[in-house]
Amino acid sequence: MNQISYRRHQSGNFIVSLIGTTQEIALLPLPFSRKTGASLSATFGCMAVTPSQAAALGFIIDEGVIARGNDTYTAV
């Protein structure tokens, strides 16, 4: 499993970081909540995600890692 951290921006969107990389993305609250299970009223937090989940959120993940189902990832 891998970790993401998230915080609510003043715009209402979530700023999400893939821990261990320099990748950071902004996500609308409803899609973020649906894909991660995070509460719509959350202001910050962190959680474990699989490489497939990280890719579904929009992070750039090595496709070979997802295909093999490894618990680790290689960001490109």
Q: Domain coordinates of the chain in residue numbers? A: 2-49
Please state, in angstroms and rounded to a whole number, the distance separating the CA atoms of residues 32 and 43. Answer: 13
Average pLDDT of the chain?
87
Q: Which of 54, 58, 6 is nearest to 29 (CA)?
A: 6
From 29-33, 34-38, 63-67, the region with the lowest mean pLDDT: 63-67
Residue type, 33: S
Q: Given pLDDT bands bounded at 50, 70 and 90, which one contains residue 73?
A: very low
Residue 50 φ then ψ, to 5°: -85, 165
- Extract the tokens encoding 2: 């891998």
Residue 29 has pLDDT above 80, yes or no: yes
